[in-house]
A and B are shown apart, each in its own frame.
Chain A
Amino acid sequence: MRLELGEIHISDIKLGDCSKVENGTLYVNVEELRALLLEDEDLASVDFEVVHPGESVRVLPVKDVIEPRVKVEGNGGVFPGVISKVGTVGSGKTHVLKGCAVVTTGKVVGFQEGIIDMSGPGADYTPFSKLHNLVMICEPKEGIKQHQHEHAIRMAGLKAATYLGELARTLTPDETKVYETSGVMSGKEKYPDLPRVGYVLMLQSQGLLHDTYVYGVDMKRSMPTILNPTETMDGAILSGNCVSACDKNTTYHHLNNPVIADLLEQHGKTLNFVGVIITNENVYLMDKERSSDWSTKLAQFLELDGALVSQEGFGNPDTDLIMNCKKLEAAGIKTVIITDEYAGRDGASQSLADADPAADAVVTGGNANMVIHLPKMDKVIGHPEAANIIAGGFDGALEPDGSITAELQVITGATNEMGFNKLSAR
C-alpha cells in the first residue's frame, strides 16, 4: 500500500462566521458546527473554546484528542465504519491539518480524569500542549446514562474532526510524506537479508469507558487480526477509552502512532516492517489466552524475526502484555515490550502487576505515580472539581489557590505506552 499524507500546517485557530483554512489559520464557524453536533439527541449543549500553546489555561477532564483529516484520493474515507462507510483505507492521498486538534471534554462519570495544561510544568508532560486546540465542552441531556453520554461525546469529537478535516480537501499541502508498505511475499523478495519485524498493537477493550473500535467493530468482540500500517493513519482505530489518562491511546495517538512511523522509517533500511497485528485486552481470562495465542500465531504466519508490543493501560492489561511477550519469545520471535510503570511515588515498588523473565527487553514511558505540582492557571475549561476525584488525584489535590498536587497519571498522554512522549528510563 502507498499512502501520501499531505500536511497543511496550522498556526492558529479563530472562531468566526465562516469555516475555512487561510494562510495557516483555521477559522471555525461555531454555529454551523454546533448545529451539526446537536443533531445528536443525547446532547443538550456544545460549547467551544480555543486554546493555544503557552496560554495559562487548563483543560479537564479530557476525553479524546483527534486530528482533523480528510481522504482526498483512494478507497474509503476517514474513520471508516463509524463516520465514513466501512471501506478499507490506508492507500491514496490524505490531507491532515497539522498542528491542531479537537479536544473533547465532559464529565461522563464522577471520577473522570485527563488534564492538559497549555503552559507551566504540566505542559511539558503532555504533547497536546504544543497544539492549537479546539476544545468542545459537551453536556448531555438530563437522564442520559453513562454509556450514552460517552457515545455522544465520542461521536461529537469525530464529527467535528471530520467537519474540520473536510476544509483541507482542496488545499495544497505544505509538506507531503509518503508511506509505502510491502506485501508479505514482495517484502521478502525485496529485502531478503533484513530482519522481519512486526508490531503487536494491544488495544484497550474491557468494557464501558475502556473500549477501542476498529472499522467500527468493538475490539473486545474481535479476534486478533492484521492491519496494513497505513490504515491507522486514516482512522481505522478509534479510541473510546476514557480512563487512565496518562497511558490511554487517544485517537490522535492512533492516527500518529510513533511505533508505526519509526518502523516505516526503517523499512527497507535496517528491517523489513511486515505488518501490524492488533489484539485486545479483555477481562475474561480465556479471552486473554486465546488472543495472545492468536497474536503469536499470526506473528508466526508472518514469519517474524522480531516484534514490538505496545500496551494500553495498567493492571489487568499487564497480564495480556506478559502473555504476548512470553508466547512470542517461546515461538523464537525476539520481543521488545513498551509499557509504563506504576512503581509508587518513590519509584521503588514493582512496576507492573505481572512479570516474566522472557520480558527482558522493555521500554518504559515513565512512572505514572510520580507526584507533580501544577500551578494555578488563569483559566480552567471543563470541570475543575474533577481534579479532586480523578485517578491520581487525592483529597486535597485541588488547593484553595487553584493549584493541583497529583500523580503524573492525571495528565493526558504523560506516560503513553506507544512512546508518544518524552519520558523514559535507562
Chain B
Amino acid sequence: MLLVTNNEKVRDQYGSLCTLQFVDGGHVDVLTHVRDLVHSGHKLLTHPLAGSVKPNETPFRSVALTEEAGPLDLESLDLIEAALGVCRQFKPRFHRGDDAPADMREDFAEIDFRLIHGAIAPHLQKGE
C-alpha cells in the first residue's frame, strides 16, 4: 500500500508500516500528487474526498493507493479529477492548517488520521 499524506500524525503512525509519501503542502497539493500517481498507473484504494468535513475546510488529506503501478485505471482517474474539481469549486479556507487556530489544527489532523486509520488498518493487518 502507498499512502500519500500531508498530515504529520498519519506520517508518525504509518511511516514505518507502509510506503508513505509525505507532501509538504496543502490539501490540493496532496490531491494533485495523487493525480500524478494515478496517471503513472497507481490505483486509488480510498476515496479522495473522505469525510464530510468539506474539502475546502480541512487542511489535511490522506489517500491510499496501490503500491504497484499498472495500466491507467480510469475509475481512479475519474474520482481524483472529480475531487480536484470540488476543490476548485470551493476555495480552500486553510492552506496547511498553520493559519488555523492550534486546537482546530489538531482536531482536523485527528479527524483525517481517524478516517484513514479506520479505512486502511484492517487491510494492513491482512498484509495488503
Judge if B101 is at the interface, Cβ distance under 8 Å.
yes
Q: Are A207 and B51 in contact (CB under 8 A)?
A: yes
Q: What residues of chain A lie closer than 8 Å to B8, measured between beta carbons?
A: none
Q: Are B115 and A283 in contact (CB under 8 A)?
A: yes
* B101 and chain A: residue at smallest CB distance: A110
Q: Are B57 and A315 in contact (CB under 8 A)?
A: no
Q: Are B93 and A288 in contact (CB under 8 A)?
A: no
Q: What residues of chain A lie closer than 8 Å to B55, measured between beta carbons?
A: 315
* B64 and chain A: residue at smallest CB distance: A284
Q: Are B45 and A349 in contact (CB under 8 A)?
A: no
Judge if A204 is at the interface, Cβ distance under 8 Å.
yes
- Contacting chain A: which of B15-23, B24-32, B34-42, B104-112? B104-112
Q: Are A283 and B52 in contact (CB under 8 A)?
A: no
Judge if A147 is at the interface, Cβ distance under 8 Å.
yes
Q: What residues of chain B lie closer than 8 Å to A317, measured between beta carbons?
A: 52
Smallest distance from the beta carbon of B1 to chain A beta carbons, Å? 11
Judge if A210 is at the interface, Cβ distance under 8 Å.
yes
* A108 and chain B: residue at smallest CB distance: B107
Judge if B120 is at the interface, Cβ distance under 8 Å.
yes
Q: Count A-B pairs with CB separation below 8 Å.
A: 118
The complex places the Cα of A218 from the Cα of B111 at a distance, in Å, of: 17
Smallest distance from the beta carbon of B55 to chain A beta carbons, Å? 7
Q: Are A284 and B103 in contact (CB under 8 A)?
A: no
Which of B49, B89, B100, B103 is within 8 Å of A316, CB to CB?
B49
Smallest distance from the beta carbon of B99 to chain A beta carbons, Å? 10
Q: Are A344 and B111 in contact (CB under 8 A)?
A: no
Judge if A319 is at the interface, Cβ distance under 8 Å.
yes
Q: Are A316 and B50 in contact (CB under 8 A)?
A: yes
Q: Are A284 and B79 in contact (CB under 8 A)?
A: no
Chain A positions 275-325 with a Cβ under 8 Å from a chain B Cβ: 282-288, 313-317, 319
Interface centre among B54, B79, B103, B106 (most CB of A within 10 A): B54
Q: Are A204 and B52 in contact (CB under 8 A)?
A: yes
Judge if A266 is at the interface, Cβ distance under 8 Å.
no
Judge if A350 is at the interface, Cβ distance under 8 Å.
yes
Q: What residues of chain A lie closer than 8 Å to B120, measured between beta carbons?
A: 284
* B76 and chain A: residue at smallest CB distance: A285
Known contacts A109-B107, A285-B47, A344-B89; A207/B119 CB under 8 A: yes
Q: Are B54 and A315 in contact (CB under 8 A)?
A: yes
Q: Are A207 and B52 in contact (CB under 8 A)?
A: no
The complex places the Cα of A353 from the Cα of B44 at a distance, in Å, of: 16
Judge if B33 is at the interface, Cβ distance under 8 Å.
no
Q: What residues of chain A lie closer than 8 Å to B123, measured between beta carbons?
A: 284
Chain A interface size band reads 35 or more
Q: Are B115 and A319 in contact (CB under 8 A)?
A: no
The complex places the Cα of A353 from the Cα of B49 at a distance, in Å, of: 9
Q: What residues of chain B lie closer than 8 Å to A354, measured between beta carbons?
A: 82
Interface centre among A110, A147, A241, A288 (most CB of B within 10 A): A110
Judge if B53 is at the interface, Cβ distance under 8 Å.
yes
Q: Are B52 and A285 in contact (CB under 8 A)?
A: no
The complex places the Cα of A147 from the Cα of B114 at a distance, in Å, of: 10
Q: What residues of chain A lie closer than 8 Å to B45, measured between beta carbons?
A: 284-286
* B79 and chain A: residue at smallest CB distance: A319
Q: What residues of chain B lie closer than 8 Å to A285, measured between beta carbons?
A: 44-47, 79
The complex places the Cα of A84 from the Cα of B82 at a distance, in Å, of: 43
Known contacts A315-B86, A353-B86; A146/B47 CB under 8 A: no
Judge if A179 is at the interface, Cβ distance under 8 Å.
no
Judge if B10 is at the interface, Cβ distance under 8 Å.
no
Known contacts A285-B47, A394-B93; A208/B110 CB under 8 A: yes
Smallest distance from the beta carbon of A84 to chain B beta carbons, Å? 27
Judge if B117 is at the interface, Cβ distance under 8 Å.
yes
Judge if B83 is at the interface, Cβ distance under 8 Å.
yes
Judge if A358 is at the interface, Cβ distance under 8 Å.
no
The complex places the Cα of A314 from the Cα of B47 at a distance, in Å, of: 12
The complex places the Cα of A220 from the Cα of B103 at a distance, in Å, of: 28
Judge if B77 is at the interface, Cβ distance under 8 Å.
no
Q: What residues of chain B lie closer than 8 Å to A353, measured between beta carbons?
A: 49, 82-83, 85-86
Q: Are A316 and B51 in contact (CB under 8 A)?
A: yes
Which of B51, B107, B116 is within 8 Å of A110, CB to CB?
B107
The complex places the Cα of A401 from the Cα of B46 at a distance, in Å, of: 44
Q: What residues of chain A lie closer than 8 Å to B107, measured between beta carbons?
A: 109-111, 146
Judge if B118 is at the interface, Cβ distance under 8 Å.
yes
The complex places the Cα of A243 from the Cα of B53 at a distance, in Å, of: 7
Q: What residues of chain A lie closer than 8 Å to B117, measured between beta carbons?
A: 207
A sample of 17 cross-chain residue pairs with beta-carbon separation below 8 angstroms, ordered by A number, consists of: A109-B107, A110-B103, A111-B104, A208-B110, A241-B52, A243-B53, A244-B52, A244-B54, A283-B115, A315-B51, A315-B52, A316-B49, A316-B50, A316-B51, A319-B79, A391-B57, A395-B93
New A-B contacts (16) at CB < 8 Å, excluding given A206-B119, A283-B47, A391-B54: A109-B108, A110-B100, A146-B107, A204-B52, A207-B50, A207-B118, A208-B110, A248-B52, A283-B119, A284-B120, A316-B49, A342-B54, A344-B89, A350-B89, A353-B85, A389-B104
Q: Which residues of B contact A (CB under 8 A)?
A: 44-47, 49-55, 57, 64, 79, 82-83, 85-86, 89-90, 93, 100-101, 103-104, 106-108, 110-111, 114-120, 123
